Amino acid sequence: MSKFLCLDMDAYFASVEIASNPKLKNKPVGIVGSVDRTVVTTASYEARRFGVKTGMPKFMAEKLCPQITFIVGNFKKYAYISEQIHTFLKTITYKTEMYSIDEAFMDISDINMSPRDLGYMIKSHIKNHFKITCTVGIGKSKLVAKMATEINKPDGLNIIEDENVYKFMDSFKLDDIWGIGKNLAKRLNGLGIFNTRDIRKLGKDFFINIFGKNGEKIYDMAFGIYKEGVKYEEEPVKSIGHSLTLPADTFDRKILNSYILQLSDMVSFRARKAKVAGKTINFHIKYSDLTKFSKMHTINYHTAATHQIYEIAKHISEEIDITKGVRHVGVSLNNLIYSCDTINDIFNKKWENIYSAIDNINQKYGNLTVTFANILNCQRLTSNTLHPWQKL
């Protein structure tokens, strides 16, 4: 019988920082993206007791918890530790999926060890080597294992036996179930469905008639069934993107263009490094009032060149009303092709030589040693969107 294990790191970013600085132990800590303005990326459990939540504006977190210590996140450090944990898990079984920077799934059906002993072994290794804790959930599907990590946190180990799955799933509100969420839960509530027990009563055909092919998945979830297995073969990255929140809302198109250039260059650098090119450029912003604008533009050739990505993103940006104020900017390259043998596939000879020289210098002396002059207009010269499972 199949068994799945889900590992969920406890308040991961905050836990790593507390492990790095023991003086922070048992104190409320919040991780933010920058010193001047941002939202809380994650918070320690001590901070959460005051109501501090992920995504909360920094000023609100300070109001709820005046004694909170804010730390600017070191995402390279978090990614590195995440990779080390993933490498360890793969020594147990190759059927391991790094679902996110702080979560992983394992198919443990073939492991000759009791699930409980395996869970404790994993928890012990992570605690001994990284001084942080995780919660482990084990069940008959990825769904049940994932939901098992939502209880008894932090530092929990929860095994849901098959005969207890229905009762376990019924204990959650629909909007708390992985794969349902608030919008679908609201729609289900409108149909008089408030928990998985209600779903089981109505039958599969009812859901297929209303939700189409997704209806069967919804019905199966009420039984703890989740047909998707562990994705242990790495899938190709579908896009390369970077985004950042500006130090202050800008009403100046020149400043906005400098940030667009910086983001385009960061996207281009990762694409060139991985020998990847794309045909579609996506540009998105968030205004001062938190409303959003996003638009894609597809060209008739593949590129990974900073100047080409920038020109298209800048062209899209000219459609926006700069007088509303821009708070957040993002650029991504999509519709990718892989295994470009040389940059001759992407650039003409002049640009091939320029980018080759830039890459050689920056790889030797560090990022931004050589860059486009307009990027120096940016007050913020970093972005934190690279994920450890995107090997670019």
The residue ranking higher by pLDDT, 390 or 305, is 305
Local confidence band at 281 (pLDDT 50, 70, 90 cut-offs) = very high
- What pLDDT sits at residue 388? 33
Instruction: Report the percentage of the chain scoring pLDDT > 70.
Output: 86
- What pLDDT sits at residue 247? 87
H-type helices in 40-195, by residue range?
45-48, 58-64, 75-92, 115-130, 142-148, 165-170, 181-190
- Residue 77 one-letter amino acid: K
How do strand 40-43 and strand 29-32 relate by DSSP bridges?
A: antiparallel
Taken as a whole, the chain contains a residue count of 392
SS3 225: coil
Residue 296, pLDDT > 70, answer: yes
* Whole-number Å distance between alpha carbons of 287 and 209: 40
- Residue 209 one-letter amino acid: N
Task: Check if 62 is active-site.
Answer: no
* Whole-number Å distance between alpha carbons of 315 and 297: 10
pLDDT tens readout for residues 358-387: 767 766 666 556 666 666 666 555 533 333
Instruction: Give the Cα-Cα-Cα angle 165, 166, 172 (nearest 5 degrees).
Output: 95
Domains of the chain: 165-221 (1.10.150.20), 239-377 (3.30.1490.100)
- What pLDDT sits at residue 365? 65
Instruction: Report the percentage of the chain scoring pLDDT > 90.
Output: 69
* Whole-number Å distance between alpha carbons of 55 and 48: 12
Q: Which range among 54-68, 180-194, 270-284, 362-376 shows the weakest confidence by mean pLDDT?
A: 362-376
pLDDT tens readout for residues 198-226: 999 998 999 999 999 899 999 999 999 99
pLDDT tens readout for residues 30-79: 999 877 768 899 999 999 999 999 989 999 999 999 999 999 999 889 99
pLDDT tens readout for residues 315-347: 999 999 999 999 999 999 998 887 653 344 444
Strands (E), 304-392: 326-337
- The answer to whether residues 148 and 139 touch, using CB atoms and an 8 Å cutoff, is yes
Q: What is the mean pLDDT of residues 283-290?
A: 93
* Whole-number Å distance between alpha carbons of 8 and 178: 13
SS3 247: strand
- What pLDDT sits at residue 31? 95
Local confidence band at 259 (pLDDT 50, 70, 90 cut-offs) = very high
* Whole-number Å distance between alpha carbons of 256 and 248: 11
Residue 273, pLDDT > 60, answer: yes
How do strand 157-159 and strand 134-139 relate by DSSP bridges?
A: parallel
Residue 391, pLDDT > 60, answer: no
* Whole-number Å distance between alpha carbons of 202 and 380: 54
Longest dimension (CA), the chain: 68
* Whole-number Å distance between alpha carbons of 221 and 176: 13
Specify the residue for token string 């090119």.
277
- What pLDDT sits at residue 1? 61
φ and ψ at residue 259, rounded to 5 degrees? -70, -35
Q: What is the mean pLDDT of residues 232-240?
A: 77
| Given 17, 46, 83, 103, the catalytic residue | 103
